[in-house]
């Protein structure tokens, strides 16, 4: 049943809505249209179009970009699970209060502090060129492996802080309630606290995942050709920037579905926490 029953008032509301929609559409078209006009009319536009939006170069670069993209995919799809595991471990370690575990807590804290202080590109160089230079026995010199390891180490430090924030955001009454039910510390962590903590930090976790996808480009400094370096090779050889635009489109195609998924999860979270039903 609608709240407004007076037909005259309904008409006024309907007319206002239509007018608002018209104004909004016109304003959007005018502003964006003006921006487009300004860009297209600028004196340097033909040169920029030739350099950044050239369909011939896009087509020619495409095969090598796809090859590079496979490596990018492989890198971040294998790195992310390991990052999540290591980060979770570090976050949990920092949260344990038993005195005998003090050395572990110190190591975990030092790890996050120091690794987050070192730029990721520097870690890549240290791992990729430095470790092989040590000539250790039985250890591979493969640049792809060390680049991957550097990414994992770097991102675990950042993601562990995200997990720690999630763990600390779960109200202590949850842990207390778990103890009251007879679960020991670790069971309480595993079955009560951790699931809630993880659900809460899914948006920032996805954020870091998207960031990891971009940082796989740093591995190219060690030799392997991934998407961005494939674009760079074509760009620097043929003196044209279009491959970079195409590579960006690859990334956008990857990122957009994931951000929508993250939004959906966050919305579902909100619904759950605001609903009056039973359950966590």
Partner 1 sequence: MRTVQPAVRAITGAVVALIAATSLAACAQKDASPTPAASGANACDNITTKQDGVLTVATSNPAYPPYVLHNDPTNGKGFESATAYAVAAQMGFDASQVEWTYAPFNKLFAPGEKDYDFAINQIGITPERERAVTFSDPYYEAANAALVMKDSPFSSATTLADLQDAKIGVQSATTAQPQVEAQIAPTQDVAVYQSTSDATHALENGQIDVFVTDLPTTLYLATVKIDGVVVGQLPGDEIADRWGLVLQKDNPLVGCVNASIKFLQESQELVKITDKWMRDYVDAPVLG
Nearer to partner 1, 119 or 195 (CB): 119
Residues at the site binding partner 1, with contacts judged by CB under 8 A: 27, 30-31, 34, 37-39, 41-44, 47-48, 50-51, 129, 132-133, 141-143, 220-225, 229, 232-233, 235-241
Least separation in angstroms between CB 278 and partner 1: 49
Least separation in angstroms between CB 115 and partner 1: 23
Tell me the CB-side half-sphere exposure of residue 218, using CA atoms within 13 A: 25
Least separation in angstroms between CB 2 and partner 1: 24
Nearer to partner 1, 23 or 267 (CB): 23
Pull the structure tokens for residue 15: 């007319």
Nearer to partner 1, 22 or 85 (CB): 22
Least separation in angstroms between CB 73 and partner 1: 16
Least separation in angstroms between CB 226 and partner 1: 10
Least separation in angstroms between CB 44 and partner 1: 6
Pull the structure tokens for residue 98: 């038993």
Give exposure, 140-165, as e/b (b: 16+ Cβ within 10 Å). Answer: eeebbbbbbbbbbbbbbbbbbbbbbe
Cα–Cα distance between 73 and 217 in angstroms, integer?
Answer: 11
Nearer to partner 1, 76 or 234 (CB): 234
Nearer to partner 1, 148 or 163 (CB): 148
Least separation in angstroms between CB 58 and partner 1: 14
Nearer to partner 1, 10 or 263 (CB): 10
Nearer to partner 1, 43 or 138 (CB): 43
């Amino acid at each position: 049943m609608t709240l407004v029953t007076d037909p005259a008032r309904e008409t006024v509301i309907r007319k206002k809505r239509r007018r608002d929609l018209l104004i909004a559409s016109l304003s959007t078209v005018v502003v964006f249209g003006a921006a487009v006009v300004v860009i297209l009319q600028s004196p340097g536009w033909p040169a920029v179009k030739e350099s950044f939006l050239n369909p011939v170069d896009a087509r020619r670069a495409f095969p090598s970009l796809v090859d590079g993209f496979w490596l990018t995919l492989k890198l971040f799809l294998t790195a992310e699970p390991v990052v999540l595991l290591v980060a979770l471990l570090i976050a949990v370690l920092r949260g344990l209060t038993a005195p005998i575990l003090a050395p572990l807590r110190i190591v975990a804290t030092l790890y996050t502090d120091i690794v987050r202080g070192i730029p990721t590109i520097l870690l890549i160089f240290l791992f990729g060129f430095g470790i092989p230079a040590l000539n250790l026995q039985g250890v591979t010199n493969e640049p792809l492996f060390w680049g991957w390891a550097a990414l994992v180490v770097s991102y675990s430090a950042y993601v562990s802080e995200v997990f720690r924030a999630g763990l600390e955001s779960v109200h202590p009454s949850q842990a207390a309630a778990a103890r009251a039910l007879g679960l020991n510390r670790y069971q309480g962590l595993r079955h009560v606290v951790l699931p809630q903590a993880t659900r809460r930090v899914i948006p920032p976790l996805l954020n870091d995942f998207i960031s990891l996808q971009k940082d796989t480009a740093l591995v190219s400094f060690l030799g392997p050709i991934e998407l961005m370096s494939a674009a760079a090779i074509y760009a620097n050889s043929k003196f044209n920037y279009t491959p970079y635009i195409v590579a960006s489109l690859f990334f956008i195609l990857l990122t957009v579905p994931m951000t929508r998924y993250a939004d959906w999860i966050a919305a579902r979270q909100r619904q759950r926490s605001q609903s009056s039903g039973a359950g966590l």
